[in-house]
Amino acid sequence: MFFEQFYLDCLSQASYFIGDETTGRAVVVDPRRDVELYVETARKHSMTIELVLETHFHADFLSGHLELAELTGADIGYGADAHTDFDSRKFADGERVELGEVTLEVRHTPGHTPESISVVVFETADAAAEATPFGVLTGDTLFIGDVGRPDLLSSVGVTADDLAGRLYDSLHEKLLTLPDSTRVYPAHGAGSSCGKNLSTDTWSTIGVQRQTNYALAPMTKEAFVEVVTAGQTCPPAYFAYDAALNRKIRPLLDESGVPPTFDLRAAVDAQHSGAVVLDTRDPETFAAGHIRHAINVGLAGRYAEFAGGVIEPNRPIILVTNPGEEREAKNRLARIGFDQVIGAVENFSNYLGADHSDHSDHSDQIEQSKRTEVEQLRHMMASTPNLQLVDVRQPGETDGGSIAGATLMPLTRLNEQLATLDPARPTVVYCAGGFRSSIAASTMAAAGFSEISDLIGGFGMWESSN
């Protein structure tokens, strides 16, 4: 058997390539949207991808099943409870896929979503009940250290409590019946909003999870429902969009394509016509000079997830990037289904002058952001009675404390709660370290907040200074 896990750090997402070396037949499970790496893997190992298998309708990324099927001619497969607008093969509970010596067994494991499945992998053709599996691909049913959350909008029409009850049954009747030595390969790791306690480990075993996973500790179904539905983070706003789009026929990604180039005037004109300018440079560089009302989401880290949390799906996007990063910025947005990148500003730094801060020649189009030091914030809190302080961290983070008087507003809920704030009041935004606060502050500036800044170093700097 040839088996490879592909882990995408920026979305904490894992996909899998499983091939039979005796026949050259292969399956890809839960592919990312930019699929060339799977095609190259098949080419390198002289294998043919015959099936693209999805464990469920993903909410946090747009899967590459359509792209991979187009490139390889592979079938697309789901559990029998999935309904798609495109042709797909439906697998019954217990149905097997024989690749040669390698055998895959589909188990229906609803709970995270109604159509969720897990895939048990056997290294030999003898996949009898007593055979020991190599591993199980658990999708979002079982994570390392956690289980899939049952409350996402991808399950509209089914209550979280109902799905949590189904999840309990799936875990105890379909996964924990596997031998302790069976490897566990989930679809996500730490940082994903699909769970609340995910490990940085990308695989484990059934035995280790039985001993260490809080959600697998002995408890009644009622207690399990209460435990797994409590304390979940607020997911990004695009999750419902992606969950729906993963069911549909939609345009295919050209991952080699580069956005058309715009000059500054063309970018500003497009912005005035409804496009959003997305500046992917780091917060410090952004603050020194950027297109007026641009939104800053740095390309480092969870760029696509954060962008999808503050930009509406299908809105035209113009990129401002460091030179040479235009295609990466476009493709990473495409991983969450944000395909409307209409252009990228060429050589933006040329508009900022020799020291990258003098933009007097374009003062009507370029502005600077205000960033606040901790001591400045202390002075403002003492001298500005109408100061508006906004904490954009997640609930689990703010449980450990926040700055006195701050309004708690997770970045993932910023747009829908923005109307509860006063755009005319002086406002300081903070997060844990200063990355998310730049996203929030730029989003608020674009929405009309006239006196807005973000706290350099965030809550971490505030605490360490006390």
> Between these two residues, 90 and 158, which has the higher pLDDT value?
90
CA distance linking residue 20 with residue 377, whole number of Å: 61
Query: Under CATH, domain 2-245 is a member of which superfamily?
Result: Ribonuclease Z/Hydroxyacylglutathione hydrolase-like (3.60.15.10)
Whether residue 411 is predicted with pLDDT greater than 80 in this model: the reply is yes
Report the predicted TM-score, pTM, of the whole model to 2 decimal places.
0.93
pLDDT at residue 127 greater than cutoff 60: no
What string of DSSP letters covers 354-369? TTS---GGGTTTEE--
For CATH 3.60.15.10, list the domain ranges present in the chain.
2-245
Q: DSSP letters of 40-58?
A: HHHHHTT-EEEEEE-SS--
Q: Which CATH number fits domain 261-367: 3.40.50.980, 3.40.250.10, 3.40.50.2300, 3.40.50.300?
A: 3.40.250.10
Q: Are 318 and 270 in contact (CB under 8 A)?
A: yes
- Whether the per-residue pLDDT at 386 is higher than 70: the answer is yes
Q: Is the pLDDT of residue 464 over 70?
A: yes
pLDDT average, residue stretch 247-260: 97
Does the pLDDT of residue 36 top 90, yes or no?
Answer: yes
Q: Is the dihedral of CA 397, 402, 407, 411 positive or negative?
A: negative
pLDDT at 231: 81
With bands split at pLDDT 50, 70 and 90, how would you rate the model's confidence at 389? very high
Provide the pLDDT for residue 154.
Answer: 44
Mean pLDDT, the chain, as a whole number? 94
Res. 132: pLDDT tops 80: yes
Measured distance CA(72)–CA(56) in Å, rounded: 21
pLDDT classification of 457: cutoffs 50, 70, 90: very high
Tell me, letter by letter, the H, E, C secondary structure of the chain.
CEEEEEEEHHHCEEEEEEECCCCCEEEEECCCCCCHHHHHHHHHCCCEEEEEECCCCCCCCCCCHHHHHHHHCCEEEEECCCCCCCCCEEECCCCEEECCCCEEEEEECCCCCCCCEEEEEECCCCCCCCCCCCEEEEECCECCCCECCCCCHHHCCCCHHHHHHHHHHHHHHHHCCCCCCCEEEECECCCCCCCCCCCCCCCEEHHHHHHHCHHHCCCCHHHHHHHHHCCCCCCCCCHHHHHHHCCCCCCCCCCCCCCCEECHHHHHHHHHCCCEEEECCCHHHHHHCEECCCEECCCCCCHHHHHHHHCCCCCCEEEECCCCCHHHHHHHHHCCCCCCEEEEECCHHHHHCCCCCCCHHHCCCEECCEEECHHHHHHHHHHCCCCEEEECCCHHHHCCCCCCCCEECCHHHHHHHHHHCCCCCCEEEECCCCHHHHHHHHHHHHCCCCCEEEECCHHHHHHHCC
pLDDT band of 193, cuts 50, 70, 90 = confident
pLDDT of residue 358: 54
Q: How many CB atoms lie within 10 A of CB 226?
A: 13
Looking at per-residue confidence, does 179 or 131 come out higher?
179
- pLDDT tens figures, 336-384: 999 999 999 999 988 886 555 555 567 789 999 999 999 999 999 999 9
| Gap between the Cα atoms of 152 and 413, Å rounded | 14
Residue 10 has pLDDT above 80, yes or no: yes
As a whole number, mean pLDDT of residues 427-442 equals 97
Q: pLDDT per residue over 154-177, tens digit each?
A: 456 788 999 999 999 999 999 999
399: DSSP letter: T
Residue 43 is encoded by which pair of tokens? 């080419």
**CA-CA distance, 32 to 48, in Å (whole number)?**
18
Q: Kindly state the average pLDDT of the residues 285-312.
A: 95
Residues of the chain with CATH 3.40.250.10: 261-367, 370-464
How much of the chain exceeds pLDDT 90, in percent? Answer: 87
Q: 82-91, 156-165, 222-231, 249-258: which has the minimum mean pLDDT?
A: 156-165
Superfamily of domain 370-464: Rhodanese-like domain (3.40.250.10)
